[in-house]
Amino acid sequence: MKKGLLLGLLLSLSVSAKELTLKEAVDIALKDNLELKAEKYKVEQKKYQYEAFKGYLFPQLSLSYFFMRTDQPPYSIMFRMNTHSLQFPRPSSLTVAGLAQAFQEMEAYFNNPGSNQIYDLALKVQVPIWMGGKVRNALKGKFLEWKAQRLMADRKAEEIAYTVADTFLKTLYAKEAVRATETALKDVAQHLKVVKKMYESGLALYSDLLRVKVYYESVKAKNEEAKNNLYVAKKALALLLNKDWNPQSITLKGKLLCPSPSEVKRRFKELLRWAVDSRKDLLALKEGIAAVNYYKKATWGKYLPDFVAFGEYHLYDNQRVGNFVANSYTVGVGLQWKLFDGLSAFNEVKMLKEKERELKTTLDYAQKGIRFELTRAYKEYQTAYAKYREAETKIEQAKESLKIVGARYKQGLARIVDLLDVQTQLDTARFERAQALYNCNTAYLKLYNTAGKIWEVLK
């Protein structure tokens, strides 16, 4: 029974364990990362702003239904005329006196027709003929804003991919640090075993044994720190991927490898050219500048007349809802021309010119900043690669020194301080190699991300 429970537990653990490659992690982030989803919603907002603005190009159709009652003479008479129910007083005879009396009664009727009511169902249409270029130029500006937002979303995807890759590498670095501390623990445990045996044989001092124990505890503390760093790194990766994974169930596939300097040097100038011409956020800025130019044209169009056609169709009744007894229509064409607006459009154009200067200045600064960031990333890579080669040399030398000093210590020709000093050098070199490998990879990724070519190294 116990064996069955244990087997079931092991199977459940193996099912819940998640093994990730860098490409898989990036693919998950592109699909589920919350920051990237928010950026995509911004694109949809711009899309629907553009679609909504298109409505100004189409006829505007409206339907209304009103009930009105009034005793104001003009409107009361108009209600009766609309329903074809207006009746004038008729003369009692065709004599002069009869006609005079009829006119007096008509006059009294016009001055006091009493209250009347109407039900008015109206269908109205307005068709834009020419709007001075305001709508079409503004529509082009909205389209370019949408396009710029799509480019910014693409750039955000690159940034997210870079952040995921960097966090993935941090996790591999933390894993390498754990491995380095565990190797150091094994080495120090071996030293402790040798010193303990020598102390029991009277060939070593008790202080030597204490020194090794103290060093062993310090390495244990570093090992615990490295494990905690690995846990946090995995947690950070799960957050980026928007997954509620247990860090202990995540296993990363991959190694920290430093790319060759010759390849990086060969691509550097190409990346520099590509970055200032084709990086997504720079292209978005250029689209923004083009949009502002269209908005300027649209604003100048406010000083031109608008030509429209319009029409109305009414159904009337003065007794009850839905029982129409009369109808009427109106059609026409016309123009509207705002001759003076207090220089509102003029100042709006000046504002847009300042906006254009702002975007051009931002673009110039961004291009110069990208060149600097690329150069810095390249130099950081060179530094990291040099440190990696140095750490490799240190490890080889420290291993050889440790063999020699260890053998001399066993023969009583070296002090425990000398042995621990060499062990410290070896442990430090191992950490330096892991750090240099991480820095080398990060600088390499940063180089391609700054250039807007991150997908080339994340295939």
Q: Which of 33, 443, 35 is nearest to 258 (CA)?
A: 443
Decide if 452 contacts 274 (C-beta within 8 A). Answer: yes
The three-class DSSP label of residue 439 is helix
| Mean pLDDT confidence for 59-75 | 91
Structure-token pair, residue 282: 């720079």
| Mean pLDDT confidence for 324-345 | 88
| Mean pLDDT confidence for 38-57 | 94
For all residues of the chain together, what is the average pLDDT?
Answer: 87
- Give percent helix, percent strand, percent coil of the chain, each to the nearest 5: 70, 10, 15
pLDDT reading at 151 higher than 50: yes
pLDDT, tens only, 401-441: 888 888 887 887 778 788 888 888 888 888 888 888 899 99
Which one has a higher pLDDT value, 155 or 211?
A: 155
pLDDT reading at 92 higher than 90: no
Structure-token pair, residue 418: 């000398």
d(CA 62, CA 327): 17
pLDDT of residue 14: 39
Q: Can you give the pTM of this predicted structure?
A: 0.81
pLDDT, tens only, 228-279: 999 999 999 999 999 998 888 888 888 888 888 888 888 888 888 888 888 9
pLDDT reading at 11 higher than 50: no
pLDDT, tens only, 432-449: 888 888 999 999 999 999
pLDDT of residue 13: 39
pLDDT of residue 203: 73
Q: Which of 145, 136, 151, 128 is nearest to 48 (CA)?
A: 145
459 confidence band (pLDDT: 50, 70, 90): low
| Mean pLDDT confidence for 21-26 | 91
pLDDT of residue 40: 94
Q: Which of 224, 131, 92, 169 is nearest to 439 (CA)?
A: 169
91 confidence band (pLDDT: 50, 70, 90): low
The three-class DSSP label of residue 90 is coil
The three-class DSSP label of residue 456 is helix
From residue 50, alpha-carbon distances to 6, 73, 126, 140, 152 in Å are 61, 48, 21, 9, 17
Note the Cα 260 to chain centre separation in Å. 33
Phi, psi of 426 (to 5 degrees): -65, -45
pLDDT, tens only, 109-142: 788 888 889 999 999 999 999 888 889 999 999 9
pLDDT reading at 2 higher than 70: no
pLDDT of residue 158: 94
Q: Is the dihedral of CA 237, 241, 246, 250 positive or negative?
A: negative
- Helix axis angle for 280-300 and 344-410, nearest 10°, is 170
pLDDT of residue 4: 44
d(CA 190, CA 96): 140
Q: Which amino acid is at 83?
A: T
pLDDT of residue 373: 92
Q: Which amino acid is at 133?
A: G
pLDDT reading at 94 higher than 70: no
From residue 28, alpha-carbon distances to 242, 271, 289, 408 in Å are 9, 27, 34, 55
pLDDT of residue 93: 64
